[in-house]
Structure 1
Amino acid sequence: MENPENPFSFSLFVKHWKDKPPEELARFVSGTGFDGIELPVRAGFQVEPETVQRTLPEIARLLGGYDVKIFSVAASTDESVFAACAEAGVPVIRIMVNIEQDGYKAAEERTRRKLEQLVPLCGKYGVKVGVQQHYGNFVIDSNGIMRLMDGLSSDHVGVVWDAAHDAFAGQQPEYGLEIVWPHLAMVNLKNGYYYRSNGPEAETAEWKRHFTTGRHGMAHWPRIASYVKQRNYKGVVCLTAEYTDLENKDRYIAEDLAYAKSLFES
């Protein structure tokens, strides 16, 4: 857990362990060496939206018995989620911005209005909304996310900075982190790279993303760790366990946690 010698808390996004009962999940997370988790509040997961006000505090108490915290949830921003987070002691609701069909600028304006409307709920329940960048039909990089933060207090709305997605967008990690720093709520660690999925004889080249382990992608974890340590970041580092090869996720996440700790705690 967080202490003066080690200001970082390591969290695991448990999306890919949805079939583990809560107690088994707690043993797995604790045994792997994490301090806590990010928990999806979604249909078919350990906590579902319809029962979040009852089940989120229940699972938080169960996990606490294994010294595992819930640092964040990936969920909607319904008031029931805010209320459940407040009761369960969960400080952050993570969301992303889907561009959908009305275009980038319209999505940006719509999201700005939504975030402004959420500020009273953030204040009422003491829970922050964290907005994450994501490749594809989302706001994809640090600059785009920070446009949404303009005029909003970092006490209420923040940025969940994702290493892989900023790298996919071509951003240097030091620049991306500098851009979002005033609103940085959490650091997400994953890694990946582009590869050509068809041959040179194809009329049009096609490129896909391969999610890999921390040492082997476009996001440079040592530079990320160096930057946040230089700026005295104290908070959560979430390993999102995004792997194209999910069959070996248990081994990969244990290796990635050890790698991350070697960088952030040295």
Structure 2
Amino acid sequence: MNQPAIDPVLTVFTKPWKTLTLEALADQVASWGLHGIELPVRPGFQVEPQDALETLPEAQRVFKDRGLKIVSVAGDLDEAAVRACAAAEVPILRVMLRIDLARGYRVSVAKFQETADSLTPLLRETGVVIGLQNHAGDFVGSAVGLMDVLAPLNPACVRAVLDLGHTALAGEPEPIAIDVASPRLAMVNLKNAIHRVVNEDEDGVKTWKTHWTTARGGLTSWATAVSTLRKHFYQGPLCLTAEYHDPDGKFLSGDPVLPLIQDDIAFLKSLLSAG
């Protein structure tokens, strides 16, 4: 039996192309048949935090002129970022929660919750949604962790960005991660990773690191992810994060990313078109 059809908004995180002009970036994304992008609003990128209130709406116009949209922004959890998103009609402000190991998990979570709660009146006013993403390392890393943080916060204003590359690293199978986060999903990130041995000492103790790879080559089953999202009738944004390591474990950027992301886009579209 065919599963329910879903028609998500397909976007790409443009972090690997920080040196392109907005016009060149928009032309590139338009050629891939996507609906839009996630734009980093960070120092050194096309839009920077200090003048985002003026420059983010200008960036949005560049993409809209090509039939695209800035669907989400990777930025800071503060009033200025929310107002910039509102001015540019960007619906999702994606953030992450780093755990301050000196202060502990609960204190770090409480600080995030306090900040997010203080922004709730502005979020209601503007319609911007804060999307909290799970991430490896010293961050909240799992769907279960996201839902723990989000539980007391307004579900209309603060939601989950579920990164299925990082949930796999955290040991959550795709069906469980999606089911756990589904009540609060604002967006789903797709990428893939493996663990690689980078060192082995004289006692045979191995040091492992995460190696970001292509859709077909890692721990996350994109096919299972799409199948599960169908079961949950998910229609929101699906963001390809375009994160890949070279053989030495360094992040790729610029032109070397192009064949990898284009192949991943084609693979994702084939999964979405399959019944």
Q: Which range, TM-score by smaller chain?
A: over 0.9
Equivalent residue, structure 1, for 2:131: 130
Q: How far apart are 1:153 and its partner, in Å? A: 2.8
Equivalent residue, structure 2, for 1:41: 41
| Structure 2: distance between partners of 1:205 and 1:90 | 44
Deviations 1:215-238 (A, max 9, x none): 110011000000001111111100
- Letter of the 2:172 counterpart: Q
| Structure 2: distance between partners of 1:204 and 1:108 | 34
| Structure 2: distance between partners of 1:200 and 1:225 | 40
Q: How far apart are 1:199 and its partner, in Å? A: 3.2
Deviations 1:126-167 (A, max 9, x none): 100000000101111111110111132321011000011000
Tell me the number of residue pairs that the alignment of Structure 1 and Structure 2 aligns. Answer: 263
- Letter of the 1:176 counterpart: A
Deviations 1:104-132 (A, max 9, x none): 12111211222211211211211000000
Q: How far apart are 1:32 and its partner, in Å? A: 1.9
| C-alpha contact (below 8 Å) 2:79/2:119 kept by paired residues | no
- Letter of the 2:147 counterpart: M
| Structure 1: distance between partners of 2:159 and 2:236 | 13
Instruction: Give 3-state SS (helix, strand or coil) of 2:238's partner.
Output: strand
- Letter of the 1:152 counterpart: L
Equivalent residue, structure 2, for 1:71: 71
Equivalent residue, structure 1, for 2:84: 84
Q: Which runs of 4+ in 1 moved over 6 A?
A: none
Is the aligned partner of 1:220 residue 2:232? no
- Letter of the 1:12 counterpart: V
Q: How far apart are 1:102 and its partner, in Å? A: 1.4
Instruction: Give 3-state SS (helix, strand or coil) of 2:156's partner.
Output: coil
Deviations 1:45-89 (A, max 9, x none): 110111101100001011111111000000113222222211211
| C-alpha contact (below 8 Å) 1:6/1:265 kept by paired residues | no
The two structures have a TM-score, normalised by structure 2, of 0.92
Gaps of at least 5 residues in structure 2 are 247-251
Equivalent residue, structure 1, for 2:94: 94
Counterparts of 1:1-266 in structure 2, within 5 Å, are 7-100=7-100, 101-199=102-200, 201-202=202-203, 204-245=205-246, 246=252, 248-266=256-274
| C-alpha contact (below 8 Å) 2:199/2:207 kept by paired residues | yes
| Structure 2: distance between partners of 1:167 and 1:102 | 27
How many percent of aligned residue pairs carry the same amino acid? 39
The more displaced of 60-69 and 101-110 is 101-110
| Structure 1: distance between partners of 2:27 and 2:80 | 28
- Letter of the 1:31 counterpart: S
The more displaced of 67-76 and 6-15 is 6-15
Gaps of at least 5 residues in structure 1 are none
- Letter of the 1:238 counterpart: C
| Structure 2: distance between partners of 1:177 and 1:83 | 30
| Structure 1: distance between partners of 2:149 and 2:6 | 31
The two structures have a TM-score, normalised by structure 1, of 0.95
Instruction: Give 3-state SS (helix, strand or coil) of 1:232's partner.
Output: coil
- Letter of the 1:181 counterpart: S
Instruction: Give 3-state SS (helix, strand or coil) of 2:187's partner.
Output: strand
- Letter of the 1:118 counterpart: L
Deviations 1:198-225 (A, max 9, x none): 2364553211111000011001100000
The more displaced of 199-208 and 224-233 is 199-208
Instruction: Give 3-state SS (helix, strand or coil) of 2:219's partner.
Output: coil
| C-alpha contact (below 8 Å) 2:6/2:233 kept by paired residues | no
| C-alpha contact (below 8 Å) 1:229/1:264 kept by paired residues | no
Deviations 1:234-263 (A, max 9, x none): 111000011002162111000000111111
| Structure 2: distance between partners of 1:81 and 1:163 | 25
| Structure 2: distance between partners of 1:50 and 1:21 | 18
| Structure 1: distance between partners of 2:146 and 2:6 | 28
